[in-house]
Structure 1
Amino acid sequence: MNDNDEVDLLIDAWAGQLPEIDFTPLDVMSRLRRVSHRLTGIRRAAFGTADLAIWEFDVLAALRRAGEPFEMSPAQLLTVTMVTSGTLTQRVDHLEERGLVGRRKNPEDGRSVLVQMTPLGRERVDRAMIALVESEERALEPLSRSDRAQLVELLRALGEAGGPPA
């Protein structure tokens, strides 16, 4: 561990300018932000091993988690991917062009469709998930199992207390 990292230097500089302020929140959140940026890079690289962009993985992972037959309605996909309807339509169109998903009529409602992952989509999302888990394991190597469990609990508490962004 480095006793004088970039965040420490940032906090020290601000404390010199505003000595009456407790910069503990900035200390915590700046570190989370840096970890988030690192995680984005780890995910991008892992998904790239399966020739997937992050957003492609998100849609395919939702379908994979749904279980056999790996299909969902667009409304269900909207809920789990948290994107707009127009964005989801563009993403499904793109994934369909790549042969990773297909659309079929909903047998329960002929006016709607179901989005179904293809075998190629399943192969790609599984490969990406395996690469992600391996990459994240390497990133977590400095932490013991006990440290990881404690971090999970702390992050869970922080996430539950978060509320809407300011």
Structure 2
Amino acid sequence: MSRRTSWAEYERAVRVYTEAGAAETVQRIVTALSRLSRRLDVFYAERFEALDLSRGEWPVLQALAIEGRHGHSNPSRLAEITGVSASTMTHRLDRMVERGLIERAPDPENRTRMVVSLTREGWDRFRRAVLDVEPQEAGIFASLSDAERQTLARLLEKAIAAQSRP
């Protein structure tokens, strides 16, 4: 699909939503974010496949990396973060242990629970994925100046923060 067609589809979508009664500015934002998200999803699926990562493994690696280089989590929390059932997470973690991406160990504070952490290979795979996709992510916003990117980031962060409040 050409960029011109994509832009025309974007404009048409916004027009349809506003004709249905939605606020134009809100629909411009939501439609733009939705379309960028879909494009990124397709891109990530392709890149992660090339890096031998499944769609299910990436959010686990990401969640554990966010805990810090030597941090950990537990299967229940990982299931909650990634939006899957506990049994699905157990199977996912089993595969990731077999592949050497993570390790499980008894929780030192509660031996009836397990903690999950990244292995060196898991961290390296996470890092390679981040570095692999970064140029494409940066390219999406290449038409914006540094100041515009900072403003966009600040505004999106403000919207996210407002959703996190009770």
TM-score between both structures, scaled by the size of structure 1? 0.77
* 1:29 shift after superposition: 1.7
Paired residue for 1:108? 109
The answer (yes or no) to whether the contact 2:17–2:27 under 8 Å persists in 1 is no
The answer (yes or no) to whether the contact 2:100–2:121 under 8 Å persists in 1 is yes
Q: Distance in 2 between matches of 1:40 and 1:48?
A: 12
The answer (yes or no) to whether the contact 1:11–1:23 under 8 Å persists in 2 is no
* 1:54 shift after superposition: 3.1
Q: Deviations over 1:105-164 (max 9, x none)?
A: 22333222221322221221111111122221122211111111111122223334458x
1:42-81 → structure 2 map (5 Å cutoff): 42-81=43-82
Paired residue for 1:40? 41
1:80-159 → structure 2 map (5 Å cutoff): 80-159=81-160
Q: Deviations over 1:6-62 (max 9, x none)?
A: 1223344666x66xx455033332222111101212322332342112331111122
For the aligned residue pairs, the C-alpha RMSD in angstroms reads 2.9
Count how many residue pairs are aligned between Structure 1 and Structure 2. 160
The answer (yes or no) to whether the contact 1:56–1:95 under 8 Å persists in 2 is yes
Q: Which has the higher helix share?
A: 2
Distance 1:76 1:28, change over 3 A: closer
Distance 1:152 1:51, change over 3 A: same
**Pair 1:6 & 2:6 matched:** no
Higher relative contact order (CA 8 A, sep 6+): 1
Name stretches of at least 5 consecutive residues in structure 1 with no aligned partner: none
Name stretches of at least 5 consecutive residues in structure 2 with no aligned partner: none
Q: Distance in 2 between matches of 1:110 and 1:13?
A: 56
2:119 alignment partner AA: T
